[in-house]
Chains A and B, each alone.
Chain A
């Protein structure tokens, strides 16, 4: 019945997989407890047992084309109940880590992202860019920690000795921040595009599931909308990713993850409004629509007063982010190392997000306090961390934002997981 599979175990691949977090995968003795206890695994060809054999045998082709690694939300029940301590949950994490490393182009970034040794070059790029800007601008405004006054007529910040701390004065948005981040954003989109293309190509090898009673497969768009609605906004699968006696930390994990995501959405809106206000206002004014241009510019004008709705949204976002981060960090710190471990990818992301939020909030606080010596360096670090978050997104664990969305949509389309409404 079954076809003969040519097996050519790849020792290098097994070792690589062990290096990115699957170090105990060889302990598996195929009892399939993991697949049985998994709250999400489908009845047909369940994971993670099959992934364990493939990994043990070094069947690289099967693993890198495997959609199931994205269906797992890593509750750790399988690893908890594994009688051999083989940690199947960790293996799936490790496989996702390998995907982050290998899906997007520019393998050098993937390599740097895979271990702490790569941190230095990764951080050096934005540090250098913003360092140069800082030095050049310091020469222009006459101080490394300058203070400014707003010249409404010229739409510009004028350095004065007893003015306010204005980050935009030292790092002008128009010429430094915005073009760089736009370029970074474009770079990120390009990398994701290539990564997603690779991913879908790999998934095309997946067997199609025949579902009794299903008339026709949903379109990719319908599956995508379903994924956004159920899996992103409601975290349906993620919430199911618990065993019957899930402890408090597991429950908080899903909540924390969701709040952190909402925080990012809030901050995305803030960024969008500010950018639209600024560039939109400029565009309108340049086009001669001065009145509307002034209003639009005013909406996006920074720094904003604390009563400004966008500022309030930013503050709420920061608050939610910190709340989510605390929940996720607490769980990760309390993981039983014998059951589930955290890889470099986990710590990199969680630390980086902490730095983004920490320096973002810190820069604001120091700015308001008027402590220039603290405010500017904190802002500088903030810039670096945001750069790192965005530019390397396709190679980081945060890449799941895109990859998992695509994979879940694809899985819904082929019927590997049900559409949200059919659950």
Chain B
């Protein structure tokens, strides 16, 4: 707990021009927290060298252990307002939340000073309830486990080894090389991107891996289980237990099931093959029709519209439903409990995988058209596409194919594929010549879907309370991805980083890049765990959830709701934290009905107390309404800052509190606020649902669900549920968020009036 605080009020950036900063300093020095406040000063420009020197001098002279900087948003000048490991810092955003965004209300003039005083009190209160986190640092394993010996896996192993980390490389097949070893050639991976094809060089890559003494290669087996936590994993591979720091999962893909290709004649028409089969033909001695002849024409169908009929992209399946899929609820009858212990992993493959693979379908069709020209120079290759997807530099590759007189490319929607004598006739509409066309070919190649190995198999076989598989992969149709926008290699299991086609369909060049990225993430994980800090997204965060087990009722909410499966439990249901799996979002803290989970510097009491620092007038007529806004620090809070910086303003009756994630919002905060007479509480968090943007995946979704329960409880107390709302805000909604706030406030005031608890 910070006990000797210095409170500094900055007068720069319009603050001094609008507020009497000296009076505020006096207010702090003589106010309710005066016992904890050792120094309270105003400074014309706090972030100036002089301002910082003044703070440092006070720390040295007075032995301050906490500094409250009442200046700008914590997202600015964070590098200036740092005073070493022993001094905690709390930032009060007078500039953004008070001065710049101020909107005068003629009914109650002079609100700016009221706002400033509330925020300063909240800041001081927060700091007095905050401790410096002291993580337990244990010895960690440094070995990187690479699962999958294909192109991505080989590259990842070499990358990790080149940085000095021991590597265990596990390959399911008996030989290394994966899918790349079965390919004839590739589209250009480097250099001249207009080259027709390039050698992949898998043999050289395998030789390099085998020659590397830091890499232990294990073939012909899989990961039977992965137990423990990052930096302390125990991986069972082929019956042997290995000590593993972090994992690169490069288990790749399998060709999609051919049943989805039936509308394109596959299985019915003799000379229709998949691009995977065609690749094998090219690799193993030449392109031949079913009759064993060299074809004079080969048609490649890139357009998959025939296959996509009836495919629904809207629903996200079970992942969108309430989490009733938790294994074995305690209230289930005994016979059902037996049943639910049998783990089943649903196959997530569908025709959609063909659509997801469309970029590769385009590139592979061009590549294989080049095979035709190379291996059968007198043959024509036709490519019928709906969308030729060759992003970026691959445009060059497309142009090269286009220039070849033996490659005919046309846009077209394939309407049928039928056998006609020894040939196959493809009919297509919407072609480049405007007419419907019929084109016959000796051989027709239909696309192969990239289906991630995680679609049908848990793959990593975690020994986690939440089960052996990655959760909610239905959202990504089995691809091991969790938030591709912000954290490309991240999975829902800290310490396991996905690379290559298991993550999303990609070519070899991107897979090699992925391998480097995932290997670096694995190393970052090892090097964070051994320092007791969080890996991501709160990289470097020393805090971790602390459990007061004395009061734990073994309700298991925290263990079930943790989006990252960080908590295991014992037979009684007592949570067993795994700090290295934890991402410090506080979802467990928000979940706990007994409020036994808190962080040293972010806790239930701390935020609850800060809310209570807001001075609520006894009636609306005595000083207007009050609304608490809990803003997610990842998107909503920056959006508010940006709105204020752009000169937007909003109701003077709102008070913001930054939260790590809406998942960390505990119902008690809402109850506290309401019982204190606050008229409304607004939660601003990330988008949730199947295209969620929550940095902690489930936080805003869980909060929304909890809010329903809270609203119900409030209703029982006679408080209108509409007083508590949750809005989705993304970082680019800075132009909309002020209106959202104003509308919420005016709705509360005009339609619901004062909180019935006001004044008690």
* Among candidates B399, B409, B438, residue contacting A7 with C-beta atoms closer than 8 Å: B438
Check B210 for interface membership: any CB of A closer than 8 A.
Answer: no
Nearest A-chain residue to B436, judged by Cβ = A4
Give residues of chain A (1-32) contacting chain B, Cβ–Cβ below 8 Å.
2-9, 11, 14-15, 18, 26-27, 29-30
- Lowest 3 CB-CB distances: which A-B pairs, in order? A14-B405, A5-B435, A4-B436
Check B315 for interface membership: any CB of A closer than 8 A.
Answer: no
What is the number of residues of chain A that contact chain B, defined by CB distance less than 8 Å? 23
Check A297 for interface membership: any CB of B closer than 8 A.
Answer: no
A54 x B433 contact (CB < 8 A): yes
Q: How would residues 637 to 675 of chain B score, 1 for a CB under 8 Å from any chain A CB and 0 otherwise?
A: 000000000000000000000000000000000000000
A2 x B434 contact (CB < 8 A): yes
What is the number of residues of chain B that contact chain A, defined by CB distance less than 8 Å? 23
- What residues of chain B lie closer than 8 Å to A58, measured between beta carbons? 380, 405, 408
Q: What is the distance, in angstroms, from B652's C-beta to the closest C-beta of chain A?
A: 57
- What residues of chain A lie closer than 8 Å to B409, measured between beta carbons? 56
A-B contact pairs, 28 of them (CB 8 A): A2-B434, A2-B436, A4-B435, A4-B436, A4-B437, A5-B437, A6-B439, A7-B438, A7-B439, A8-B439, A8-B440, A9-B297, A9-B408, A9-B439, A11-B380, A14-B405, A14-B406, A15-B405, A18-B405, A26-B403, A26-B405, A27-B402, A29-B402, A56-B408, A56-B409, A57-B408, A58-B380, A58-B408
Which has the most chain A C-beta neighbours within 10 Å: B378, B382, B403, B427? B403
Complex Cα distance, B427 from A94, in Å, reads 31
Complex Cα distance, B408 from A53, in Å, reads 10
B433 x A26 contact (CB < 8 A): no
- What residues of chain B lie closer than 8 Å to A11, measured between beta carbons? 378, 380, 405-406
Q: What is the distance, in angstroms, from A14's C-beta to the closest C-beta of chain B?
A: 4
Nearest A-chain residue to B378, judged by Cβ = A11
Report if A2-B435 is in contact (Cβ < 8 Å); known contacts: A11-B378, A29-B402: yes
Nearest B-chain residue to A29, judged by Cβ = B402
Q: How would residues 321 to 355 of chain A score, 1 for a CB under 8 Å from any chain B CB and 0 otherwise?
A: 00000000000000000000000000000000000
B435 x A27 contact (CB < 8 A): no
Q: How would residues 407 to 439 of chain B score, 1 for a CB under 8 Å from any chain A CB and 0 otherwise?
A: 011100000000000000001000011111111
Q: How would residues 268 to 281 of chain B score, 1 for a CB under 8 Å from any chain A CB and 0 otherwise?
A: 00000000000000
Q: What is the distance, in angstroms, from A25's C-beta to the closest C-beta of chain B?
A: 9
Complex Cα distance, B438 from A364, in Å, reads 63
Known: A2-B436, A4-B438. 6 other contacts (CB 8 A): A5-B437, A6-B438, A7-B439, A14-B405, A26-B404, A54-B433
- What residues of chain B lie closer than 8 Å to A4, measured between beta carbons? 427, 435-438
Complex Cα distance, B381 from A26, in Å, reads 14
Check A50 for interface membership: any CB of B closer than 8 A.
Answer: yes
- What residues of chain B lie closer than 8 Å to A15, measured between beta carbons? 405
A3 x B402 contact (CB < 8 A): no
Complex Cα distance, B454 from A86, in Å, reads 46
Report if A9-B382 is in contact (Cβ < 8 Å); known contacts: A26-B403, A56-B408: yes
B404 x A5 contact (CB < 8 A): no
Q: What is the distance, in angstroms, from B378's C-beta to the closest C-beta of chain A?
A: 7
Which has the most chain A C-beta neighbours within 10 Å: B380, B402, B433, B437? B433
- What residues of chain B lie closer than 8 Å to A2, measured between beta carbons? 434-436
Complex Cα distance, B432 from A100, in Å, reads 28
- What residues of chain A lie closer than 8 Å to B435, measured between beta carbons? 2-5
Nearest A-chain residue to B404, judged by Cβ = A26
- What residues of chain B lie closer than 8 Å to A7, measured between beta carbons? 437-439
Nearest A-chain residue to B405, judged by Cβ = A14
Q: What is the distance, in angstroms, from B141's C-beta to the closest C-beta of chain A?
A: 54
Which has the most chain B C-beta neighbours within 10 Å: A15, A18, A30? A30
Give residues of chain B (417-471) contacting chain A, Cβ–Cβ below 8 Å.
427, 432-440
A interface list, Cβ under 8 A from B: 2-9, 11, 14-15, 18, 26-27, 29-30, 50, 53-54, 56-59
- What residues of chain B lie closer than 8 Å to A9, measured between beta carbons? 297, 380, 382, 408, 439
A3 x B436 contact (CB < 8 A): yes
Complex Cα distance, B410 from A422, in Å, reads 39
Complex Cα distance, B405 from A27, in Å, reads 10
A27 x B403 contact (CB < 8 A): yes
Complex Cα distance, B439 from A30, in Å, reads 20
- What residues of chain A lie closer than 8 Å to B436, measured between beta carbons? 2-5
Q: How would residues 81 to 92 of chain B score, 1 for a CB under 8 Å from any chain A CB and 0 otherwise?
A: 000000000000
Complex Cα distance, B359 from A156, in Å, reads 85
Complex Cα distance, B439 from A59, in Å, reads 12
Complex Cα distance, B427 from A313, in Å, reads 64
Q: How would residues 363 to 407 of chain B score, 1 for a CB under 8 Å from any chain A CB and 0 otherwise?
A: 000000000000000101010000000000000000100111110
B408 x A5 contact (CB < 8 A): no
Q: What is the distance, in angstroms, from B153's C-beta to the closest C-beta of chain A?
A: 38
Nearest B-chain residue to A24, judged by Cβ = B403
A53 x B405 contact (CB < 8 A): no
Nearest A-chain residue to B410, judged by Cβ = A57
Which has the most chain A C-beta neighbours within 10 Å: B405, B434, B436? B405
Q: What is the distance, in angstroms, from B523's C-beta to the closest C-beta of chain A?
A: 44
A53 x B432 contact (CB < 8 A): yes
B405 x A5 contact (CB < 8 A): no
* Among candidates B297, B403, B432, residue contacting A30 with C-beta atoms closer than 8 Å: B432
A6 x B405 contact (CB < 8 A): no
- What residues of chain A lie closer than 8 Å to B438, measured between beta carbons? 4-7
Which has the most chain B C-beta neighbours within 10 Å: A3, A11, A53? A11
Q: What is the distance, in angstroms, from B691's C-beta to the closest C-beta of chain A?
A: 33
A57 x B433 contact (CB < 8 A): yes
Q: What is the distance, in angstroms, from A60's C-beta to the closest C-beta of chain B?
A: 13
Nearest B-chain residue to A59, judged by Cβ = B433
Q: What is the distance, in angstroms, from A97's C-beta to the closest C-beta of chain B?
A: 17
- What residues of chain B lie closer than 8 Å to A3, measured between beta carbons? 435-436
Complex Cα distance, B382 from A59, in Å, reads 14
A27 x B399 contact (CB < 8 A): yes
- What residues of chain A lie closer than 8 Å to B432, measured between beta carbons? 30, 53
Nearest B-chain residue to A57, judged by Cβ = B408
Report if A5-B433 is in contact (Cβ < 8 Å); known contacts: A56-B408, A58-B408: yes
Nearest A-chain residue to B403, judged by Cβ = A26
B399 x A50 contact (CB < 8 A): no
- What residues of chain B lie closer than 8 Å to A56, measured between beta carbons? 408-409
A6 x B437 contact (CB < 8 A): yes
Complex Cα distance, B408 from A7, in Å, reads 11
Q: What is the distance, in angstroms, from B425's C-beta to the closest C-beta of chain A?
A: 9
Complex Cα distance, B433 from A50, in Å, reads 7
Q: What is the distance, in angstroms, from B222's C-beta to the closest C-beta of chain A?
A: 46
Complex Cα distance, B3 from A343, in Å, reads 91
* Among candidates A8, A26, A53, residue contacting B402 with C-beta atoms closer than 8 Å: A26
Complex Cα distance, B440 from A59, in Å, reads 14
Complex Cα distance, B433 from A4, in Å, reads 11
Nearest A-chain residue to B399, judged by Cβ = A27
Nearest B-chain residue to A22, judged by Cβ = B405
- What residues of chain A lie closer than 8 Å to B405, measured between beta carbons? 11, 14-15, 18, 26, 58
* Among candidates A14, A18, A53, residue contacting B433 with C-beta atoms closer than 8 Å: A53
- What residues of chain A lie closer than 8 Å to B439, measured between beta carbons? 6-9
Nearest B-chain residue to A18, judged by Cβ = B405
Q: What is the distance, in angstroms, from B251's C-beta to the closest C-beta of chain A?
A: 38
Complex Cα distance, B436 from A8, in Å, reads 13
- What residues of chain A lie closer than 8 Å to B437, measured between beta carbons? 4-7
- What residues of chain B lie closer than 8 Å to A53, measured between beta carbons? 432-433
Complex Cα distance, B198 from A126, in Å, reads 54
- What residues of chain B lie closer than 8 Å to A29, measured between beta carbons? 402
Q: What is the distance, in angstroms, from B429's C-beta to the closest C-beta of chain A?
A: 8
Complex Cα distance, B596 from A122, in Å, reads 103
Complex Cα distance, B436 from A19, in Å, reads 30
- What residues of chain A lie closer than 8 Å to B297, measured between beta carbons? 9
Complex Cα distance, B433 from A58, in Å, reads 12
Complex Cα distance, B432 from A53, in Å, reads 7
Q: What is the distance, in angstroms, from A338's C-beta to the closest C-beta of chain B?
A: 15
Q: What is the distance, in angstroms, from A49's C-beta to the closest C-beta of chain B?
A: 9
Complex Cα distance, B440 from A4, in Å, reads 13
Complex Cα distance, B404 from A48, in Å, reads 20
Complex Cα distance, B440 from A167, in Å, reads 64
